Amino acid sequence: MTEKTFRLPDVGEGLTEADIVQWKVSPGDTVAVNDVIVEIETAKSLVELPSPYAGTVSSLMVAEGETVDVGTPIISVTVDSGAGSTTPTTPETTTEAAAPEAVPAAPQAPAPAAEAAAPAAEAPRASLTGTGPKPDAVRRRPRRPSASGTPTPDAPTEAMPVPAADPAPAPAAPAAPKAHIPAPSETATPSGTAAVQDRVNRLIQRVLAKPPVRKAAKDLGINLADVTATGASGEVTKQDLISYQAQREAERESAGEFWSPGPGADDSRIERIPVKGVRRATAKAMVESAFSAPHVSIFVDVDASRTMEFVRRLKASKDFEGIRVSPLLILAKAVIWAAARNPSVNATWAGDEILVKHFMNLGIAAATPRGLMVPNIKEAQELSLKELAIALNTLAATAREGRTPPADMRGGTLTVTNIGSLGIDTGTPIINPGEVAIVAFGTIKQKPWVVDGEVVPRWITTLGGSFDHRVVDGDLSARFMADVAAILEEPALLLG
């Protein structure tokens, strides 16, 4: 019988430590090669480690919840020497206790910016000078006026098939009725103007729901505008109301249980949460980005009514059956399209040069139970609308479960954060380290909007963009955001 020791490996991220989250085996258990033995949390994600040996677990050498360095012995397995030991599949994942000298020294954790820039070094480089490359203006496709007089871009860089899907369904946009145009006598007084605005507001706030649902909402004191509608025509259903009420009651109960009794600032009433894993990595990256990259932010209001209609049609399409579709899908495609027209937003600042990426690894900021994560979709520029929808759904589901592979966290080139899913209008996002741009997508809701001289309710959203001013000048950031907004206002441009 031979005893083998398995040391904590570097799982390919260049990290120096990890937290032991949960052991999947106990002393005395029999394991086979590649059986999962432990779940660890690195600074980026949860990872399950397989056993490199077949045998009986002798001992667990590290307790759950402990943070250990790469190369630390964590488990020993007794192997039948007659049957021969199983050689680990990769030298970097296992080491024997009898040969500690074979364990490589724990690598130093690279700075996030350097880590993100590594893939870019393999891509074609563009050595630029100055604080804001102007060649982008040359690369942009010329705009020509359309029949309506609105500038429209020439054919986009790639033809898009019929669209795809993404998380969080959005309500279908009803046909926008025209607001009442007051007679001169009405507009002659402030009260007349107020009456017109009141009519518009009532029209905008009208929520689709059947009479029994409206009565139930009134009895419960629920504003139907606060309830997420899942009905086929965008109406609030009875089940929607029940789910909302259950969530509201749960929040009230948890709020009552949160406060601890007793006066003063007793230390026993202070919850201490260790900062480690994803939270520690996020904190380090955000501080580094905020204080190393000079941020500049701009905002733009967008009429996304056509995007809402486009999403509704996609949901009804047989091509996208079984695929979740939301406006985030259209925004993601818009960002890819706009970056091709303004290449320097898809770049890395490398000190003495700017690395412009001729590929898009689109990062999607995801709130997970373990903190903020930004996995990215590799080569997103190559995906059709349907393929992008599937990729977004997979990314979101994996991130929520905390199962994002380490490879999906590396090499992002530009990030999108969907703060609108939480009902927020807009914000000032912090650029992901190693990138020079991030777009924040605010909530889409109906507001009064002027169309052809008339005030009508339209689906409006606000986009917020932050840029590294060392690379992206004001005019470039404005052109990029204007291009993104153009797609949300007219998704048909993607099909040109």
Report the distance separating Cα 298 and Cα 481, nearest Å.
Answer: 8
Q: How far is CA 198 from CA 195, 204, 336, in A?
A: 5, 10, 40
Rounded distance between C-alpha atoms, residue 150 and residue 449, angstroms = 18
CA distances from 415 to 57, 84, 339, 389 (A): 44, 49, 11, 16
| Pure H helices in 318-429 | 327-341, 385-400
The amino acid sitting at 116 is: A
Give the closest residue to 489 by CA, choosing from 450, 464, 459, 454: 459
Report d(CA 123, CA 65) in Å as an integer.
Answer: 40
358 a catalytic residue:
no
Token pair for 240:
């929607």
> Contact 393/165 with Cβ under 8 angstroms?
yes
As a whole number of angstroms, the distance between CA 67 and CA 70 comes to: 10
Q: Which pairs from 281-289 meet CB under 8 Å and 24+ separation?
A: 281/43, 281/44, 282/371, 282/372, 284/112, 285/112, 285/432, 285/433, 286/430, 288/111, 288/112, 288/113, 288/433, 289/112, 289/430, 289/431, 289/432, 289/433
**What's the residue count for the chain?**
496
User: Could you tell me what percentage of the chain is helix, strand and coil, using 3-state DSSP and rounding each to the nearest 5?
Assistant: 35, 20, 45
Burial 112-137 (b: 16+ CB within 10 A, else e): bbebbbebbeeeeebebeeebbeebe
**Looking at the annotation, which residues are catalytic?**
469
